[in-house]
Each structure stands twice: as structure tokens, then as C-alpha cells.
Structure 1
Amino acid sequence: MKKKYRYKDIVDYLKDTNLTTVEELVRALNVSPATIRRDLIDLENQGVVRRTHGGVTLNSFVATQLSVQEKNQLFKAEKERISKAAAGRVESGSSIILDAGTTTMEIAKNITHLPLRVITPDLRIALFLSEFKQIEVTMFGGEIDNASQSCVGEHARRLLQSIHTDIAFISSNFWSFEHGVTTPKEAKTALKIDMIGCAEESILVVDSSKYDSFSLFKVAELEQFSEIYTDDGLEKDIREKLKYLNVKLHFM
């Protein structure tokens, strides 16, 4: 079994059990104890799980964010389904914001056939879309956040405060019914708030593995988004709870 699939299976197992042990994971995934221990060390370093004397549990509060390279390895198939569906909301000739992130990068790959104006803080998205002549790309500019390889800071905020776009696609590592969308960095929080504020409608694109985790700074309540695109990995009771929100939900 490939490492990324084991990661997903470990996270899914912890969502069901809340607390587990190496021995239980060995039986559930049918792999060696050494493999499980290595995976748990990797996931703990990424801030996904927390190891305790009693075993291992999901890390509900996350103080830091994963690097782009780390995020690229996780839940790739889910991100591809989410992004393909969300890209269907983009119409020819429209102006959109693509937030920094691996899911929004996948959206970029699905809109290259359209004439568009795209505004993004993400260096990789900007470079990728600049290869297509029918797409006008604008970078936010400003200080570079190394973890996300994207622009943050007051220079980026000034640009956002002077424009109005059709759709803002917002990504997040942390979302929940109770806490909404949160981030570990104040600068990124302010930028996401501005992205939501300057768009006619904002759409949250986020995979289910990030659900029920939160960080220090609040970006928005889930009801501030017009639509949420996620994958079908959420438990039935969570889906039912989310349906109480006045938001159009898509489970891909």
C-alpha cells in the first residue's frame, strides 16, 4: 500500500476511534509495526496526529501549516474530484481569485481552456496559468510565505481592496461546523478575509481530512460562503449537521 493511502486510512481510522494504538493500526491496515511507527512520526511532524502515552489521536488544534510539498502527497484523488467540480462554476470571460493551495492549483489545471482574468497570491498557480495566452494573470505581490509559496502582507491587501471579482475560491487547512475556517497565521487570515470581501461570491474548496480541526485565527463562518465543495469522506452525521447551514454543499 502506498504511503499516501496509508496516511488516509490512518486518519479515517482515527476519525472513527478518536484514540488508537500502533497494534490496532497494524491489525486494521495489515502492515508492519515499523511501517505504522514511521507513518505516525511523519503525520505527527505534519501536525495531523498527536502521539500520547495512551496511543495516538488526531490533532484537533493545529498550530502550524504543512508545506506545499507535504500537502501534495495527501488526499490527491479527493482534491482532483473537488477541483474538477468547482471549476465547472467558472464561466468564460469571468474574473476569479484562486487562493493559495494544492486544491486551488488543481482548479487552475481545469480552467486553462477559458478566457479569464485570474488573481492569485500563489506563485505556482501564477506561473502555471501564465503559459496560456487567453488567461490574464495578476499576482498579489508582497512578502512570500515560504510554507505556502504565496504572497502575504499589506501590499497584497491593498490590491484586493481595489478590485471586485466574480468568484473567490478559498482554500483552508482547517474547517469545522463550530469554528468555521481558521488559519495559523494572522497575515494569511487578513488576506483571506479580503479575498472573500472583494468577490461577488466566495466558494470554499477543502477536502474532508481537514474537517474538525482548527487553528488560532478566524477567517469566516461557514455560512459566509455561498458554496462548499468537499469530498465524500465526511461521516453521515457530519453531513447532516452541515446541511443546517445556509450554504450549498457539494460532496464529490
Structure 2
Amino acid sequence: MGKLSRLDQIMDYLKGHNLVTVEELVNVTESSPATVRRDLIKLDEQGVISRSHGGVTLNRFIPTQPTTNEKIYKNLTEKQLIADYAAQMIKAGDSIALDAGTTTLEIAKRITQIPVRVITSDLHIALFLCEFKQIEVTIIGGKVDDSSQSCIGEHGRSLLRQINPDISFISCNSWSFNKGVTTPTEEKALIKASFAEKANKVVLVADSSKYDSYSLFTSISLSKFTDIITDTRLDTESRILLSNQAFKLHIAD
């Protein structure tokens, strides 16, 4: 894995400390105070941090749904490793449900040679996979959410209630031990929950940068998952906590 970007260095440091000063971040990133302040202004505008006279804290509440374009290159290495691991769970003849998201899109890229049936809410995934003759693609339909270019609403939920996939892969923008998978909108929460209802295996695919953050609406409690796949940057304390649950924790490296 290459050197972390300056913003990633700042985020990593914030995750391990309650209150951080500009001077600390200057030392951590080996950057000038002016450069660090510009980065903090950017993170503040995105709602990622809270700034005060005493310093900077990480804001773990995510108020809005980020767009696909905003997410697609973020933590890409981790998403690719998670997708590599997830794809190994899939075998020829399986029916799999792919929730909308950039991590599930990476899974789709890894199954093009496997004859499977795919049910998805994600327009990007559906358009990509329908190019491959050995893959049968069903898109759930309904209203399109413009931030994620995916289907939401009762029409899609009704279809999901009628299917029994072998594996359902669910992605998210925020997850935590106490609050589970959360979303900024009720419609997104309901559609994600529908993906988890009837699958034989329900697998959360979520990189560690999203752990211990939350949005307004709870979609799925972690107890509903059979498996969780995340990356090596999940801290040791969280790994121990999650490893002692009914689901199986997988660390992709």
C-alpha cells in the first residue's frame, strides 16, 4: 500500500484522538500550518470535522448521502481488497443480490467470468454486468435516487421480498457496533433492510473508515449479518469486539 495522502493522514490521526490541534497535525503530516488549515477548511465544509478554539474533532455523524462521484476513488485500495475477498464467496450458479455502492461495484467487476444471477438496485452495476452473457441481471426498478444512481421505494422493496438469493452483499456509508448500518434517508434505510431479509448469507462489505460513524436512520443491526468484511485499518479494540459476535468478521488484506 502506498503512502497515505495528507487528508488520509489527518483523518487517521483524528480517529485516534478526541481533540487535535493544528500544531499536532503539522507534525503528523510534515506540512505547513497554512496547508493544514486549508485541509481543515475543506473537511469542515464537507461536515467531516468540527472546529473550535481548542482544536479539531472528528464529526462521526453523516448528515447527507455522498454522491457516487464523491465516493468512487475514496479508500479505493481497501474497497478492492474487500471486493477480492467477497468474490471468493461466490460460485457458479449462485444468485446474488448487490446493494448499491462503490464497494459492491468492485465486487461486480470481479465476477464477470462466473455464471450467476444478479439482483441489484444500482444502475452502474446493472449496466456493467449486462454486457456479460453468462450473467443474468435483474434491476429492482422504481424511483431513482440521484445521489447514488440507484433504485429506491416500494416497487423495488416488493421485488426484494419475493426473492431468496444465496448471498446478499450490502455496502454502507456508516456502520457501528451499537447503531448498525445507518443511512441519511428513510428510503435508503428501507431498501437496504430489504436486501437483508431473505438471503441465505447476508454480508456487509464496508471499509474501516466508515466504522463508528452513523446517520439518522438505522437500516440493519449488525446481528442480522452472517459475515462482515472490512480492511486491516480497523483498530485492534474494534476487531476484538466484532470478533466476539455471532457473525464472522473477515479482514481483507
TM-score (norm 2): 0.94
Q: Which residue of 1 aligns with 2:88?
A: 88
What is the deviation of 1:177? 1.0
CA 1:187/1:108 → structure 2, altered by over 3 Å: closer, same or farther?
same
Q: Which residue of 2 aligns with 1:140?
A: 140
What is the deviation of 1:78? 0.6
Q: Which residue of 2 aligns with 1:25?
A: 25
Question: Does residue 52 in structure 1 map to residue 45 in structure 2?
Answer: no
What is the deviation of 1:3? 11
**Matches of 2:43 and 2:66, distance apart in 1:** 10
What is the deviation of 1:22? 2.3
**Contact 1:61 1:214 (C-alpha < 8 Å) held by counterparts:** yes
Letter in 2 for 1:161: R
CA 1:34/1:147 → structure 2, altered by over 3 Å: closer, same or farther?
farther
**Matches of 1:35 and 1:137, distance apart in 2:** 47
What is the deviation of 1:50? 2.4
Q: Which residue of 1 aligns with 2:99?
A: 99
Letter in 1 for 2:15: K
Q: Which residue of 2 aligns with 1:223?
A: 223
Letter in 1 for 2:30: N
**Matches of 2:251 and 2:159, distance apart in 1:** 33
Q: Is there any run of 5+ residues in structure 1 with no aligned partner, and where?
A: none
What do residues 25-61 of structure 1 show as CA deviations (whole Å, max 9, x unaligned)? 1211112333323322333333322223322211122
**Matches of 1:220 and 1:170, distance apart in 2:** 10
What do residues 106-134 of structure 1 show as CA deviations (whole Å, max 9, x unaligned)? 11111111011111111111111111111
Instruction: State the secondary structure of the residue aligned to 1:251.
Output: strand
**Matches of 1:94 and 1:239, distance apart in 2:** 30
Letter in 1 for 2:48: V
**Matches of 2:38 and 2:136, distance apart in 1:** 44
Question: Does residue 40 in structure 1 map to residue 46 in structure 2?
Answer: no
Instruction: State the secondary structure of the residue aligned to 2:249.
Output: strand
CA 1:71/1:44 → structure 2, altered by over 3 Å: closer, same or farther?
farther
Matches within 5 A, 1:90-129: 90-129=90-129
Letter in 2 for 1:7: L
**Matches of 2:169 and 2:41, distance apart in 1:** 32
What is the deviation of 1:147? 1.2
Q: Which residue of 2 aligns with 1:159?
A: 159
Percent identity, aligned pairs only, is 55
TM-score (norm 1): 0.94
Q: Which residue of 1 aligns with 2:188?
A: 188
Larger mean CA deviation between 128-137 and 26-35 belongs to 26-35
Question: Does residue 200 in structure 1 map to residue 200 in structure 2?
Answer: yes
**Matches of 1:133 and 1:91, distance apart in 2:** 16
What do residues 52-90 of structure 1 show as CA deviations (whole Å, max 9, x unaligned)? 332221112221121111112311111111111011101
Instruction: State the secondary structure of the residue aligned to 2:196.
Output: helix
Instruction: State the secondary structure of the residue aligned to 2:6.
Output: helix
Q: Which residue of 2 aligns with 1:9?
A: 9
What is the deviation of 1:4? 7.2
**Contact 1:46 1:66 (C-alpha < 8 Å) held by counterparts:** no
Larger mean CA deviation between 81-90 and 48-57 belongs to 48-57
What do residues 204-225 of structure 1 show as CA deviations (whole Å, max 9, x unaligned)? 0000000111111111221210
For the aligned residue pairs, the C-alpha RMSD in angstroms reads 1.6
Larger mean CA deviation between 138-147 and 36-45 belongs to 36-45
CA 1:192/1:101 → structure 2, altered by over 3 Å: closer, same or farther?
same
CA 1:21/1:63 → structure 2, altered by over 3 Å: closer, same or farther?
same
**Matches of 1:38 and 1:73, distance apart in 2:** 21
Letter in 2 for 1:152: I
What is the deviation of 1:91? 0.8
**Matches of 1:3 and 1:140, distance apart in 2:** 40
**Contact 1:8 1:74 (C-alpha < 8 Å) held by counterparts:** no
**Matches of 1:52 and 1:4, distance apart in 2:** 26
Instruction: State the secondary structure of the residue aligned to 1:24.
Output: helix
